[in-house]
Amino acid sequence: MTKKKKLAAILLSCLPGALGYSAPTHAVHLNPHGRGQAWIYPYYGVNGGNQTIISVVNTANDVKAIRVRFLESRNSRSVIDFNLYLSPFDVWTGSVFALDANGGANLVTLDSSCTVPPIKGGTALPSVGGNRYVPFRNVQYTGAFADGGGGSLARTREGHVEIIEMGTLLGGRDAHLLADEATRGGEVVPPNCAALVAAWSSGGAWIGAGAAAGTNAPSGGFFGSGAVVDVANGTMLAYNADALDGFYFTGDPADDIHFRPVFEHPTLNNARSGSRTPPVTSFALTGGSAPSVVASSWIRTAPNDLAGVDAVSAALMVDAIYNEYTSDVSLGAATEWIVTFPTKRFYVDHVEFGGAASLAVGPVAGTRQSLPPFSGFGFTALSGGARVASFACEDLSITLTDRGAGIVWESQFGEILPNKLGLCEATNTVTFDQSGSESAILGTPSTRYRNLDGPFVSGSAHMRFTQSIGTGVEPDFIVARTATASDGDAYAGLPVTGFAAVSIVNRDAAPGMLANYAGVFRHRGTTAITPSETD
């Protein structure tokens, strides 16, 4: 294929709505129709009196084995994992809530779909209002797994969710054929969820015969959604989950992703296509450079270690995102952006501290360098033998355009500017013209949200992840985030998802009337791919 033809094909692939476009069958991609084999929910939160509702919908005539994982916002450490076995055409819902303003988050479900460990009806769990709930945990970022980011349960109050299909269950008479036990078949409650719990217990069917027994490979056909509900103010911020399709296709029975719930797998690094090592959907990231003050580049020593998640990152990679905002006081308006990096932990969290990546030693004593496409330091540094957080901040710039006059204004989030930090979290809140102790909509603490004070009360914003930032002093700070695929094509930017949350309070409503409004607008983005010179 000529360079011109290949570039045209790449540009077309960036337009999901393009006439005649269909995503490749055996490659990880964002399904423009919203169904897939894995899903990313950009945000959950319980700050500011909010709670978050999560739903998963099975549109297939199969019993699905699904891993549900909630990840805290700072470093994407897992705060709760469980297996969900969903009946054909079934829907599972759960609600994340907090019992007080400072404690950890919790999950409650009134749904009878089978979970392992059991949630609804789990007699070992605490209860509220007669319903059992699961407290989120901090074991993945305390003790031996401490990452320097603090061990408080408050870390569990915000984050994002990933849900991965592990396969379909088969039915029959053998002990490991358990589809029938999880199938409602017109009944409100599945006939025998306890059989699935027992299958993962000592001496159980999936322990003795293996996790792959009685299962087929993932087949997709799911969709999901999330909603942040502010009960006191009567608003709901609803969004659709990002659907990753082509996540898993393999004919090798040894390459199974049905895992016991106590294991950290499967993750987004389990993406596979037609072969096991490496998957053809992988993008071996071999390029990238650090800020000019570091003036270094590196090559991953074991590219197959992250082959699966590289494919997911490539599907999410954008060099910029766009959205609107308003902070018009006369409307009682506020806007907050959620900017989530779903794969960040694989590139910034050192394996010694429970992460998936093996990071090179950084230029500053005790630090480690993130892997491309991320360009900052790793999340954790060592100081006097203690683990401290460097937070893996990523610098960027934002351009604001006034709604009325089309005037442009630019600012930066970066370590090079006084009192300006980049986006340091895996799930980030960016506010516009706010200064409170917590953000106005999502309640993110002021110590963690990034505020932008611009000259306009309403307009559009353009956040760039790869650019030169002029500081007024030499040399200019260069942020060059580039990930090179195994075929030589260079992907610029970062793997990003998220949305803008907008709230408006009508202060002129009739006395006693609740007149609050809220909406969610998904980020738009651009993709920058440079074909290799050999194409």
- In this prediction, residue 426 carries a pLDDT of 96
Rounded to whole angstroms, how far apart are CA atoms 283 and 276?
14
Q: Are 84 and 113 in contact (CB under 8 A)?
A: yes
Which tokens is 498 given? 């998220």
Q: What is the pLDDT of residues 313-330, one digit of tens each?
A: 888 988 899 999 999 988
Predicted confidence (pLDDT) per residue in 77-87, tens digit? 999 999 999 99
Q: CA 479 to CA 142: how far, in whole Å?
A: 33
* Span 250-279, average pLDDT: 74
Per this entry, what is the length of the chain?
535
User: Encoding tokens for residue 39?
Assistant: 């899903």
DSSP notation for 475-496: SPEEE--EEE-TTS-EEESEE-
pLDDT of residue 534: 58
Structural contact between residues 291 and 430, judged by C-beta atoms closer than 8 angstroms? no
Task: Provide the pLDDT for residue 22.
Answer: 36
Instruction: Dump pLDDT digits (tens) for 27-36.
Output: 788 888 999 9
> Which residues does 41 contact at the CB level (< 8 Å), separation at least 6?
54, 160, 161, 162, 163, 224, 226, 239, 241, 242
Cis-peptide, bond into residue 303, ω within 30° of zero: no
Phi and psi at 197, nearest 5°, equal -65, -45
Domain boundaries, the chain: 30-270, 303-527
Q: Distance between CA 12 and CA 146 in Å, rounded?
A: 44
Q: According to the 3-state scheme, what is the secondary structure of 143-191?
A: HHHCCCCCCCHHHHHEEEEEEEEEEEECECCCCCCEHHHHCCCCCCCCC
Of 124, 113, 6, give the one whose Cα is nearest residue 56: 113
What would the 3-class secondary structure string for 244-303 be? EECCECCCCCCCCCCCCCCCCCCCHHHCECCCCCCCCCCCCCCCCECCCCCCCECCCCCH
Residue 255 — very low, low, confident or very high, per pLDDT cuts 50/70/90?
low
pLDDT digits (tens, 9 = 90+) for 362-383: 666 777 778 878 887 888 887 7
User: Quick one: pLDDT at residue 416?
Assistant: 41
Torsion of CA 303, 307, 313, 318, to 10 degrees: 50
Greatest Cα pair distance, the chain, in angstroms, is 74
Helix (H, G, I), strand (E, B) or coil at 351: helix
What's the token pair of residue 528? Answer: 């920058």
In this prediction, residue 421 carries a pLDDT of: 58
Question: Are β-strands 222-230 and 50-58 bridged in parallel, bridged antiparallel, or unpaired?
Answer: antiparallel
What contacts 341, CB < 8 A, 6 or more positions away? 374, 394, 423, 426, 427, 428, 494, 495, 496
Whether the per-residue pLDDT at 409 is higher than 90: the answer is no
pTM over 0.85, yes/no: yes
CB 184 within 8 A of CB 157: no
CA distance 415 to 383: 20
Per-residue pLDDT, 420: 54
- Of 59, 165, 57, the C-alpha closest to 113 is 57
CA distance 245 to 40: 11
Whether pLDDT at 457 is above 50: yes
Alpha-carbon distance 77 to 427, whole Å? 11
pLDDT of residue 280: 41
Q: Is residue 276 over pLDDT 70?
A: no
Q: What's the pLDDT score for residue 277?
A: 47
Phi and psi, residue 370, nearest 5° = -65, 155
